[in-house]
Structure 1
Amino acid sequence: MSTRVLAVRIHPVTGEPGVELDAVAVAAEGLAGDRRKRAAVHLVGVEHGPTTRANLVVTGTAGELDALVGRVIVIGEVELGITRTAGNCAGVYADVLRPGVLAVGDELRALGES
């Protein structure tokens, strides 16, 4: 799967539009400036990008993201553990396993894949 980050968003205030960023620092609690929601990070595929409040929109599909549940992925310097699908929302939720910086254009790589 050759998947890249298309958009990085934070949502600092409930009910207000998100803020698009080129790059962001990611700590154990989530993206810098974001308010904590149901998980540290929320990822969605490109088909759901415009209609969700997800943190990361990627070029992959919803099905490709769903297949990553239980896996560890790396985006930029950040290592994420994909914990579950987002339930009523599109996409998947992730915990931050290794903090760092990620940016638009970074490749999403599942550990164990070449």
Structure 2
Amino acid sequence: MSTARVQSIHVYPTHGEPGQDLTAVEVGEAGLAGDRPKKAPVMVLSHEDTSGARANFVVGLTAEELAAAIDGVIEVGEVELAVTGTAGTCPGVYAAVGRGGTVRVGDVVTVREPG
């Protein structure tokens, strides 16, 4: 089991436009409040990323730790995310929302790997 913290939160209300940086956000079944629908409700990215990927949460986990969480669960603050797969070529993952709630920058991130 790995533990880290939320480093940043982002929503992208309009396709092709810059995102908004937040200090806290409500997360529901469809994803983050104010975010537009996309391939998955939530994208979680490793702090190691340098690609400029448009992630919702940047967390203090390595790319390997995120990849190991596929088919497992990531708890982000009050929120529980079911990790569904990799997010293309960047060091991140896509996730569905298992339990909604509030996430704040600095919240603890805990990975429960499958198995």
TM-score (norm 1): 0.92
Return the offset for 1:2.
2.4
Instruction: Identify which range, 42-51 or 94-103, moves more after superposition.
Output: 42-51
Give the residue type in structure 2 aligned to 1:105.
Answer: G
The runs of 5 or more residues in structure 2 that have no matched partner are: none
Q: 2:84 & 2:35 partners in 1: Cα distance?
A: 19
Q: Distance between the aligned counterparts of 1:24 and 1:49, measured in 2?
A: 24
Moved more, 45-54 or 90-99: 45-54
Number of matched pairs: 112
| CA shift for structure 1 position 30 | 0.3
Which residue of structure 2 aligns with residue 97 of structure 1? Answer: 98
Q: Does 1:107 align with 2:108?
A: yes
SS in 2 for 1:53: coil
CA distance in 1, matches of 2:40, 2:64: 20
In structure 1, list runs of 5 or more residues that go unmatched: none
**% of aligned pairs identical?**
47
Bigger fraction of residues in helix: 1
Partner of 1:2: 3
Q: Which residue of structure 2 lines up, in the alignment, with residue 81 of structure 1?
A: 82
1:56 aligns with 2:57: yes
Give the match's secondary structure for 1:3.
strand
Alpha-carbon separation, structure 2, partners of 1:90 and 1:2: 17
**1:50 positional shift:** 6.5
Q: Which residue of 2 aligns with 1:24?
A: 25
Aligned amino acid, residue 92 of structure 2: G
Report the counterpart of residue 45 of structure 1 in structure 2: 46
The 1:23/1:4 distance shift into structure 2, 3 A limit, reads: same
Aligned-partner Cα distance in 2 for 1:52–1:35? 15
Provide the TM-score with structure 2 as the length reference: 0.91
* SS class of match (2:49): helix
Secondary structure of the corresponding residue to residue 55 of structure 2: coil
